[in-house]
Structure 1
Amino acid sequence: MSDSNNRNKQIIEEFRANDGQVGGFFTERPLLLLHTIGAKSGQPRLTPLVYEADEDRYVIIASKGGAPTHPDWYYNLVANPNVSIEVGTEHLAVIAAVSKEPERSQLYEKMAAKHHFFTEYAKKVVTRTIPVIILTRTRR
Structure 2
Amino acid sequence: MPNPFNQNIIDEFRAHHGRMSGHFEGARLVLLTTTGARTGTPHTTPVGCLADGGERILVIASAGGSPRHPDWYRNLLARPEATVESGVFTYRARAEVLTGEERDRAFARAVEADPGWQAYQEKAGGRVIPVVALHRIAQGGPPEIAADSPGEAMRLVHDMFRRELALIRKETAAGDGAMLGAQLRVNCLTLCAGLHNHHTGEGTALFPFLAGRHPHLAPVLERLEREHVRIADLVEQLRRVVSGERADPAAARAEVDRLTAALEAHLAYEEEQLLPVLGG
TM category (shorter chain) comes to: over 0.9
| CA-to-aligned-CA distance 1:20-69 (integer Å, 9 cap, x gap) | 11122211111000010000111110000110110021100001111111
Q: Tell me how far 1:139 sits from its aligned partner.
A: 2.2
Of 12, 31, 35, 2:10 maps to 12
Q: Which moved more, 1:76-85 or 1:120-129?
A: 120-129
User: What does residue 32 of structure 1 align with?
Assistant: 30
Tell me which amino acid in the other structure corresponds to 1:72.
D
Q: Is the 8 A contact 1:21 1:31 kept in 2?
A: no
Residues 121 and 127 in structure 2, CA contact (< 8 A), matched pair in contact too: no
Q: Which residue in the other structure is 1:134 paired with?
A: 133
Distance (Å, rounded) in 1 between the aligned partners of 2:105 and 2:17: 30
Which residue of structure 2 lines up, in the alignment, with residue 45 of structure 1?
43
More strand by share: 1
Q: Which amino acid counterpart does residue 96 of structure 1 have in structure 2?
A: A
TM-score by length of 1: 0.93
Is the CA contact (8 Å cut-off) linking 2:103 and 2:131 kept in structure 1?
Answer: yes
Q: How many residues align?
A: 138
Q: Distance in 2 between matches of 1:125 and 1:75?
A: 16
Corresponding residue SS for 1:50: strand
What is the CA–CA distance in structure 1 between the aligned matches of 2:133 and 2:82, rounded to whole Å?
12
CA distance in 1, matches of 2:57, 2:39: 26
Give the distance between the partners of 1:127 and 1:111, measured in 2 at CA.
19
* TM-score after normalising by structure 2: 0.48
Residue 80 of structure 2 aligns with an amino acid whose one-letter code is P
Gaps of at least 5 residues in structure 1 are none
Identical aligned residues as a percent: 39
Taking the TM superposition and a 5 Å limit, the aligned residue runs for 1:1-140 are: 5-56=3-54, 57-140=56-139
Question: What are the Cα deviations for residues 104-130 of structure 1, in whole angstroms up to 9, with x where unaligned?
Answer: 011111112222211100111233111
1:21 and 1:101 mapped to 2: Cα distance? 34
Structure 1 residue aligned with 2:253: none
- Given that 1:58 and 1:136 are in contact with CA atoms closer than 8 Å, whether structure 2 keeps it comes out as yes
Cα deviation for residue 83 of structure 1 reads: 1.1
Residue type of the alignment partner of 2:45: T
Whether the 8 Å CA contact 2:31–2:47 is kept in 1: the answer is yes
* Structure 2 residue runs without a partner (length 5+): 140-280
Report if aligned partners of 1:47, 1:73 keep a CA contact under 8 Å in 2.
yes
Higher RCO structure, 1 or 2 (CA under 8 Å, sep 6+): 1
* CA distance in 2: counterparts of 1:42 and 1:32, whole angstroms: 21
Q: Distance in 1 between matches of 2:21 and 2:104?
A: 29
Aligned residue identity for 2:117? F
